[in-house]
Structure 1
Amino acid sequence: MALNFHQLHIFHTVAEKGSFSAAAAAMHMTQPAVTMQVQALEEHFGTKLLNRSTKRIELTESGRMLLPFARRSIELLRETDTEMSRFTHKLEGRLQFGASNTIGEYVLPPLLVPFGRRHPNTSISLKVMNTTQIVEEIARHTLNFGLVEAPVAHPDMVSETVMQDELRLIVPGGHPLAARESVTLEEASAYPFVLREEGSGTRQVMEDEWKAKGMDPRSLQTVMELGSTGAVKSAVEAGLGVTMLSPSSVKHELALGLLHAVPIRDASFKRQFYSVRLRSTLLPIAAVAFLNFLRDRQLTDEEE
């Protein structure tokens, strides 16, 4: 009987989770099916791989020897999918993923069109929600992966950099800073601010850089805190203050001259966007191709 990769994947998941039931839940399988596949792998090698005498399974000596090979085989398959997806032009199936508000509402829409043209047989189901909700749905296997604004600290999840973004000072048309090529952090701090709510990714990036430059973000004259990027844009456009946002979220307003993006020359508000997925799950080829499309598109944009 030939060595079966699927059995190696199941064995690796059981070893990582510490039980057959947890592995079955993670792989969306029944517990008897998981047990049967591990037993088949033990029959293939002719040795016991797991001790089942306790509530938590333990690896035997041969199981401990096999584990790194199983892990490497999974990593190699992921790398193979990653590289080969660049040459796959006839993708089919449903791409189900989630994205945080800024990414889902402003960054992705213009990128979904060229991806759809390249892969017309792939249907896309995108849910826009907060990071906590995305992680919960990935854990329940209702989403393949998510796109978020910060790495996720979850023992069962893997976060990987996909794209880069940078916040700019956004001011209304006719503002004293609107015609400036750049300003200093101190100059920007002199004006009233309209900010996203505390805990948002955008707010966190802004405050972290303010602190890194030895300034207290609490000293800003914050006239309003709002729970969405759209609300912040409307408030700034109405002249209530200035803000820090990604230019990708105000493209329309910038084009019409309603808002202006002003670089802050003595500070950097760069941030990463991340993909997050279950550690124990292999992404479908359509998902791998889409993430590679985002990475490649980002590189092309940076070169331009």
Structure 2
Amino acid sequence: MALNYHQLHIFYTVAQRGSFSAAAQALHMTQPAVTMQIQSLEDYFGTKLLVRSTKRIDLTEAGKALYPYAQKSIELMRETEKAMSQFTSMLEGRLLLGSSLTIGEYVLPRLLGPFGRQYPHISIVLKVMNTTQIIDEIVSHQLNFGLVEAPVHHPDMISEPVMEDELKLVVPAGHPLSSKGKLRLEEVLSYPFVLREKGSGTRQVMEEQLERSGIDLGELDIVMELGSTGAVKSAVEAGFGLTFLSPSSVKHELALGLLNVLEIENVTFKRQFYSIHLKSTLLPVSAVTFLTFLREQKLPL
């Protein structure tokens, strides 16, 4: 019998999950099949790798020695698939992905067309939802991966940067600030604001940058907190206040002359968009190809 990657992947997942049943669920295998593969691996090395206890699985000394090599083999396989994805123009597959609101409604729609023309045999099913829902559906294997606006700290997830975005000051057409040159942060913050709800990625980036700039968030005149970017845009357009949004999300309103995007001197609100997927599951090559494609794009403005 030859050593194979599949068995190392199973061993790594059992060790990480702490039980055969949890590993079987993560790998979409039956528990007996997982047990059989571990036994085959132990037969190959001629030593025990795992010890069953009443509550969990523990690694033997041999298992502890093998674990980092199994982990490296998974990382190497991911890197290999990423490197080779650029040569696979005839890929086929169906990708199930979730994305947060800004990415799903304003960024991806402009990129799915070019991707589809380059890879016509890959179909994408996109679900727009919040980060918690995306994580839940990835864990339950209803989604291959997700795209979110902030890194995710979850024990079963890998979080990797995909694209960079920058929030800008958005004001209604004809606002007094529109006629000025360089804006100072202090004069901007003297106006009322319409913001996304607390906990949203957009709100988080804005607040973190303001705090780094020495601004007391409690002094902001926040007249509205709304649960969607569309609602925020409508409120700003109606003159209720200013806001910070991604230029990708106001492209239509800019073209119609309803809103203006302005620069603030010496202040930037940059953020990363991230992909997330399960540590225990290798992404299909079609998913790696899609993420590679996204990394090569500049956000449409």
TM bucket by the smaller chain?
Answer: over 0.9
Give the length in aligned residue pairs.
301
* Whole-angstrom distance in 1 between the partners of 2:199 and 2:233: 18
* Whole-angstrom distance in 2 between the partners of 1:181 and 1:87: 47
User: 1:264 corresponds to which residue?
Assistant: 264
User: 1:189 corresponds to which residue?
Assistant: 189
State the Cα deviation string for residues 163-205 of structure 1 (Å, max 9, x = none): 1111100001111112334311111111111111111111111
Residue 93 of structure 1 aligns with an amino acid whose one-letter code is: G
User: 1:28 corresponds to which residue?
Assistant: 28
How far off is 1:209 after superposition?
A: 1.3
How far off is 1:117 after superposition?
A: 0.5
State the Cα deviation string for residues 116-161 of structure 1 (Å, max 9, x = none): 1000001100000000000000000110110001111110111111
State the Cα deviation string for residues 222-251 of structure 1 (Å, max 9, x = none): 111111000000111111111110100000
* Whole-angstrom distance in 2 between the partners of 1:60 and 1:111: 48
User: 1:294 corresponds to which residue?
Assistant: 294
Matches within 5 A, 1:26-175: 26-175=26-175
Residue 140 of structure 1 aligns with an amino acid whose one-letter code is: S
* Whole-angstrom distance in 2 between the partners of 1:235 and 1:154: 35
* Whole-angstrom distance in 1 between the partners of 2:121 and 2:163: 25
How far off is 1:53 after superposition?
A: 4.1
Please give the secondary structure, in 1, of the residue aligned with 2:165: strand
> What residue ranges of structure 2 are gaps of 5+ in the alignment?
none
Residue 81 of structure 1 aligns with an amino acid whose one-letter code is: E
User: 2:206 corresponds to which residue?
Assistant: 206
* Whole-angstrom distance in 1 between the partners of 2:181 and 2:148: 31
Please give the secondary structure, in 2, of the residue aligned with 1:178: helix
Q: TM-score, normalised by structure 1?
A: 0.96
Please give the secondary structure, in 2, of the residue aligned with 1:168: strand
User: 1:179 corresponds to which residue?
Assistant: 179
Range moving further from structure 2, 3-12 or 54-63: 54-63
Please give the secondary structure, in 1, of the residue aligned with 2:296: helix
Contact map agreement 1:96 1:126 (CA 8 A) in 2? yes
* Whole-angstrom distance in 1 between the partners of 2:57 and 2:195: 50
Moved over 4 A (4+): none
Please give the secondary structure, in 2, of the residue aligned with 1:141: coil
Range moving further from structure 2, 134-143 or 58-67: 58-67
Residue 295 of structure 1 aligns with an amino acid whose one-letter code is: R
Contact map agreement 1:181 1:262 (CA 8 A) in 2? no
Provide the identity percentage: 68
* Whole-angstrom distance in 2 between the partners of 1:274 and 1:246: 16
How far off is 1:217 after superposition?
A: 2.0
* Whole-angstrom distance in 2 between the partners of 1:217 and 1:168: 18
State the Cα deviation string for residues 61-119 of structure 1 (Å, max 9, x = none): 22112111111111110000010001111110101110000110001110111001000
Residue 185 of structure 1 aligns with an amino acid whose one-letter code is: L
Contact map agreement 1:180 1:262 (CA 8 A) in 2? no
* Whole-angstrom distance in 1 between the partners of 2:246 and 2:104: 13
Range moving further from structure 2, 112-121 or 217-226: 217-226
* Whole-angstrom distance in 1 between the partners of 2:185 and 2:98: 34
* Whole-angstrom distance in 2 between the partners of 1:215 and 1:81: 45
Residue 78 of structure 2 aligns with an amino acid whose one-letter code is: R
Residue 25 of structure 2 aligns with an amino acid whose one-letter code is: A
* Whole-angstrom distance in 2 between the partners of 1:192 and 1:289: 44
* Whole-angstrom distance in 1 between the partners of 2:100 and 2:158: 16
* Whole-angstrom distance in 2 between the partners of 1:29 and 1:181: 62
* Whole-angstrom distance in 2 between the partners of 1:196 and 1:181: 27
> What residue ranges of structure 1 are gaps of 5+ in the alignment?
none
Query: Taking structure 1 as reference, are residues 162 and 8 closer, same or farther at Cα in structure 2, changes over 3 Å only?
Result: same
User: 1:241 corresponds to which residue?
Assistant: 241
